[in-house]
Amino acid sequence: MGRVLVIDDDAAVRAALGQTLELADHSVITTGSFVEAKDHIAHGFDGVILTDVRMPGRDGFYVLDYVHSVDVDLPIIILTGEGDIPMAVRAVGRGAFDFLEKPCGADTLLPVIDRALTTRHLVLENRRLKEQLEKSDPAARLIFGDSGAAEQLRKQVRAAAALQTDVLVTGAPGTGISKVAEVIHMSSTFSKGPFFKRSADGLGREELVIALSNCIGGTLFLDAIETMPPDTQIALQDHMDGTDPMPRIIAGSNVPLDQLERDGRLMVDLFYRVSTVTVRIPSLSERPEDIPILFRHYVAQAAEQSGHPMPDISADFLSDLMARDWPGNARALMSLAMRFVLGVDKNDAHSALTMPSLAEQIAKVEKSILVDTLRKCDGKVSEAIKVLQIPRKTFYDKLSKYGIRAEEYR
């Protein structure tokens, strides 16, 4: 029914408690000390802990503190001596779920255990549900990184998505402003409409109007918003003030928020309009611990794109990446990942004399394949041509070309 970890140095007490709990269909683990119990205690432990408070060595309070360092929500029921109310109060104040006085019968023990188990199951279910929700969550799927900064970014993105307001996304060059804008779009109710991306630089009034009308019900992302021509800025404000249907506006800028306000290129009114909600993308320098995750992701991507096998990435290499400076942020990491996969190593240059020709290389490979296939098919041509998906005549033509005789493989 539920799992209970019992910690008590008194063997008789352990036995009695164990029996009572097992008779109530609980799964019981009894241990004589913290040392013995420690290995059972993990984050997400699917049960509760019942521990004596007075024990030699590590007492109940130690257990309490330790357990909550592992999993802050894990319920711990403290066993105290009869009438030791001050001790019980201290324990509960310290985070114990409840307390019981020794000796205690089933009548008082079981309800407490049940309440604790119920709470535990609710906590674990709560965690699973949250995880499941996040999995169906574009921010979780598309914004990589385990750092606090990455998690903070995901939270900002979810908050921005949940609102109906316009959004300003800022970040250093290469941090992926455009991509974050798209994730906000995907996570929002606007995702039913289109996502339209335009650079604000040089954008004319008419182009703006066209863009706005093209994504009613969706999102218009305007990159480098501070480079938008002044008359287009005015036009945009007019549309925002107007009663015509409007898409959601997401503005992007490499200029930090505080500088953007003082910059002068972006009109103050428009600035306040689009920065109702802001999302700031951290630079890689703020979250170096995300570099390995990002790099692995880009390498996998590059390998898939180029048809290369996924190369191994040594821990030393990743450490060096973490230690390096990345002014180009994620984009620079992406470029490096591509070069890494393609095996850029200029010292490997070949002269024409040593390198076999293309035809020679191809012939060699083809011959190998034919021979391998014959071998695997025990010289049975009917089988071999099925495997290679090639007509019998063509197959024999090729064997002839390389001087291969199928009967030699029977």
Partner DNA sequence: TTCAACTGTGCGGAATTCCGCACAAAAATA
Partner DNA sequence: TATTTTTGTGCGGAATTCCGCACAGTTGAA
- Which residues sit at the interface with a second copy, rule CB under 8 A? 85, 89, 92, 97-98, 107, 111, 115, 118-119, 122-123, 125-126, 129-130, 132-133, 136, 141, 306-308, 342-344, 346, 348-352, 355, 357-359, 361-362, 364-372, 375-376, 386-390
Query: How many whole angstroms separate alpha carbon 9 and alpha carbon 202?
Result: 78
Nearest by Cα to 236 from 180, 277, 274: 274
> How many of the chain's residues bind DNA (CB under 7 A)?
19
Which residue bears the tokens 């287009």? 232
The entry of DNA, a second copy, none near residue 35 (CB within 5 to 8 angstroms by kind) is none
Does residue 192 contact residue 159 with C-beta atoms inside 8 Å?
no
Query: How many whole angstroms separate alpha carbon 382 and alpha carbon 358?
Result: 30
Which residue bears the tokens 């109007």? 209
Write out the DSSP string of 136-152.
Answer: T-HHHHHS---SHHHHH
Task: Single out the residue of 243, 398, 402, 403 in contact with DNA (rule: CB under 7 A).
Answer: 398
Identify which of residues 267 and 371 has a Cβ nearer to a second copy in the complex. Answer: 371
**Chain CA centroid to CA 317, Å:** 22
The entry of a second copy, DNA, none near residue 216 (CB within 5 to 8 angstroms by kind) is none
Work out whether 196 is an interface residue with DNA (CB under 7 A). no
Task: Single out the residue of 142, 267, 293, 406 in contact with DNA (rule: CB under 7 A).
Answer: 406
Task: Tell me the closest approach of the beta carbon of residue 367 to a second copy, in angstroms.
Answer: 7
Task: Tell me the closest approach of the beta carbon of residue 388 to DNA, in angstroms.
Answer: 10
Contact characters 351-390, DNA, x per CB under 7 A: ----------------------------xxxxx------x
By three-state DSSP, how is residue 30 classified?
Answer: strand
Task: Single out the residue of 148, 207, 391, 402 in contact with DNA (rule: CB under 7 A).
Answer: 391
Identify which of residues 76 and 224 has a Cβ nearer to a second copy in the complex. Answer: 76
Q: How would you list the strands of the sheet with 277-281, edge to edge?
A: 195-199, 219-223, 248-253, 167-171, 277-281
